[in-house]
Chains A and B, each alone.
Chain A
Amino acid sequence: MTTETAAGRFGRYGGRYVPETLVPALQELEEAYAAASADPAFREEVARVLREYVGRPTTLTPARRLTEAWGGANVWLKREDLAHTGAHKINNTVGQVLLARRMGKKRIIAETGAGQHGVATATACALFGLPCEVYMGALDVERQALNVFRMRALGAVVRPVESGSRTLKDAMNEAMRTWVSQVSDTHYVIGSAAGPHPYPTVVRDFQAVIGRELRTQAQAAFGGLPDAIIACVGGGSNAIGVLHPFIGDASVRLVGVEAGGHGLDTKQHGASLTLGTEGVLHGSRSLVLQDEDGQIQEAHSISAGLDYPGVGPELAHLAKTGRMEVRIATDDEALAAFYEVARLEGILPALETSHAFARGRELARELGAGKHLVINCSGRGDKDVATISARGVPPPVGVKA
């Protein structure tokens, strides 16, 4: 099942809105990717690295105490937080860095928001011996100190970006500017299923390993397909990765959860699928948060990874056609969900992932007992502990105050 209505087009969305300087490089990437994905040796190499190094397949964990607490469907967790580097991002960076090496590129650049994609890119570059530069909004450099250290430890150069809102969108602008200047020998590893064609397709394909594994694991675990799958949506790479293999399965409800930030009425949120309008940002036409003059608005989320005013074009298409349901979780709801999951399952989810958990209870109840709900556990929360602990920790469980 594909939602691509033409090369790089998902209904009204997608395309390649970039400076002419980059068009030949994108055409080269498109051709190289088509050749690589048709080459069994390349596919096996990616699969081997995912197996031997990343730790795939990641497990499908029954969340028994959440199931009991929520009183509805059986809850299962697809554990991308158990992948090497602690998030799903590594699936894509291993694939893209191997592709870049196959193309003879000499260096890698990337942008990062929360730092997970930056860490995953730096990791793949260390593994395959390529120099790596990561552009990161200066604000994110401050709030994600652990990941900044990890990237530097892995040998990458971290370049703080001071322009605009000093977050992910500005890091992506700067990475694209750098790429325009160094396009002949540099590959730009985009981390979201966004950007100009062919990136939304390339990233989705490398991330779809999540959904493919889930199909097999669901069969083994409960003898069928899940009744619903829920994932958080910023740019949308974990969401499209887990959801894409199920688009053709009408019985499976696909649910994306966006950052509600301080609330949809506050203008401080990251809900581009819900409140965005059609526009062009970072090379593709999609739904973006913008004012009536077409200026891109700054997004807000407690999680740096959802703090993005755009969304991948395929998810925009799935949302607009109704195939994917879109829900919202606010900062406070995500924080509450973080502690609920920590204390009921012994898992510290990333703040991004906590948005998906925040909508889990009502979805489990809508589905009802005997049904199966899968939550894509996109990453672990270690990187977020400073942000979370700054708000105070609730009292311990089972201890009298």
Chain B
Amino acid sequence: MSGEIAQAFAQAKARGEGVLVTYAMAGDPDLPRSVDVFAALVEGGADVLEIGVAFSDPIADGPVIQGAAERALKAGSTLKRVLDEVVPAVRKRCPQTPLVIMTYVNLIMAMGEARYAKLARERGVSGTILPDLPPEESASLRATFDAEGLDLIPLCAPTTPPARAQAIAKEGRGFVYCVSVSGVTGMRAELPPDLSQRLDLVRKAATVPVVAGFGISTAEQARMLSAHADGVVVGSVLVHAAHTEGPEAAKALCADIKRGLRR
């Protein structure tokens, strides 16, 4: 298990803050400039970085991240290049921040599970999130990751029945990613009313921290959720800001959301 992720959550807790996990797409608008985006997010207060790796068929993503994936693919982003070029550069500029890869299972299969795990760990990646790999399909990959000390971070959904959610939470690695809305990634004006109850249930069963993600874009939403989770994940709003206004705008948004996480 990665000590880095646990440490980041412990440090935030000690400071009386919820953890801010931020997502951006490696290779958007191109590989070097996406490094600037990741660094800006950390300057804005991000505690954990999710590094998106573009896939041609992103079924869990809404229009904003789909668009970022198309731009990244055009810019030549591949899993190999992200591990070779983006991850080490981000690592250099943000040495204290745990890095988590978020992509789809086909890219990991194409590289080879063991090869990916080894390379990711060597480059300084702490964990991996695969939104199209439910627990039933993840046994072999998780064993490979465990052997390498790379966390396979599980997801829990609003439709997940309580007993299944508890099992996922109990067996979690790194942190448990609670998907807040039934749907794809993207900003939402309102979050479901039963979200806090679900977070409480998962948090009670979890052996690792619990974060809420999908649909979260404001300090107010972050403040409300940080009473029931150890942190929040913010993605589409930052990807949109970085794409339309540049890294500084994403940094400012991070700082604003981070204020919502101070207890």
Closest chain-B Cβ to A104's Cβ sits at a distance in Å of: 16
Shortest Cβ distance from residue A88 to the other chain B in the assembled complex, whole angstroms: 26
Supposing A24-B159, A294-B111 touch, asked if A169 and B57 sit within 8 A by C-beta, the answer is yes
Are B57's CB and A281's CB within 8 A?
Answer: yes
The reply on A176 being an interface residue by CB < 8 A is: yes
Q: What per-residue 1/0 map shows which CB atoms of B123-151 lie under 8 Å from chain A?
A: 00000000111101100000000000000
Q: Are B136 and A164 in contact (CB under 8 A)?
A: no
How far in angstroms is the closest Cβ of chain A from B109? 6
CA–CA, A192 and B201, complex, Å: 38
B120 to chain A, nearest CB (A): 15
Given that A20-B156, A294-B110 are contacting pairs, would A173 and B58 also be in contact in the complex, using a CB cutoff of 8 Å? Answer: yes
Bound-state Cα–Cα, A22 to B136, Å = 13
Closest to B177 in A: A20
| CB-defined contacts of B159 to chain A, threshold 8 Å | 20-25, 183-184
Chain A neighbourhood of B182, CB < 8 A: 21, 180-184
B7 at the interface (CB under 8 A from A): no
A interface footprint on B147-168 (CB within 8 Å = 1, 0 otherwise): 0000000011111110010001
Residues of B contacting A181 with CB < 8 Å? 182-184
Chain A residues with CB under 8 A of B156 = 20
* CB atoms of B57 and A16 under 8 A apart: no
Q: Quick one: given A20-B156, A24-B161, are A176 and B106 in contact (CB under 8 Å)? A: no
Contact with B along A265-307 (1 / 0, CB 8 A): 0000000000000111111000010101111100000000000
- The distance from the CB of B146 to the nearest CB of chain A, in whole angstroms, is 20
Bound-state CA distance A21–B192 (Å) is: 14
Q: Which A residues are CB-close (under 8 A) to B80?
A: 293
Interface centre among B56, B111, B132, B159 (most CB of A within 10 A): B56
Contact A282–B59 (Cβ < 8 Å): yes
Report the minimum CB–CB distance from B107 to chain A (whole Å): 4
A17 and B183 contact, Cβ closer than 8 Å, known pairs A25-B159, A164-B56 = no
User: B57 to chain A: which residues have CB within 8 Å?
Assistant: 164, 169-170, 173, 281-282, 296
Docked-complex contact A290 and B106, CB < 8 angstroms: yes
Assess whether B66 is interfacial by the CB under 8 Å rule: yes
Contact B56 A295 (CB under 8 A): yes
Interface size on B, residues (CB 8 A): 41
Residues of the B chain whose Cβ atoms lie less than 8 Å from the Cβ of A17 = 105, 132-134, 137
Would you call B78 an interface residue if the criterion is a C-beta within 8 Å of the partner chain's C-beta atoms?
yes
- A108-165 residues at the B interface, CB under 8 angstroms: 163-164
C-alpha gap A102/B66 in the complex (Å)? 35
Q: Are A23 and B160 in contact (CB under 8 A)?
A: yes
Q: Which residue of B lies closest to A15 (CB)?
A: B137
Residue B60 is within 8 A (CB to CB) of chain A in the complex? yes
A176–B61 Cα distance when bound, in Å, is 10
In the complex, whether A177 has a CB less than 8 A from a CB of chain B is yes
Whether B134 contacts A20 by the Cβ 8 Å rule is yes
B7 → A minimal CB distance (Å): 27
CB distance from A18 to the nearest CB of B (A): 6
Residue from the list B106, B157, B161 in contact with A21, Cβ < 8 A: B157
Is B78 touching A293 in the complex (CB atoms < 8 A)? yes
Chain B residues within an 8 Å CB radius of A177 = 59-62, 183-184
Q: Which residues from chain A contact B62 at a C-beta distance below 8 Å?
A: 177
Q: Does A19 lie at the interface of the complex (its beta carbon under 8 Å from any beta carbon of B)?
A: yes
Pick from B70, B105, B111, B184: contact of A180, CB below 8 A: B184
> How far apart sit A295 and B106, CA to CA, in the bound complex (Å)?
8
On whether the beta carbons of A19 and B161 are closer than 8 Å, the reply is no
Do residues B134 and A279 form an inter-chain contact, with CB atoms below 8 A? no
Q: Is the CB of A19 within 8 A of B109?
A: no
Q: Which residue of A lies closest to B80 (CB)?
A: A293
Q: List 12 A-B contacts (CB under 8 A).
A: A16-B136, A19-B155, A20-B160, A23-B157, A163-B66, A164-B57, A177-B59, A182-B182, A184-B182, A281-B106, A283-B59, A296-B106
Which 3 pairs show the lowest CB-CB distances between chains A and B?
A294-B110, A21-B157, A181-B183
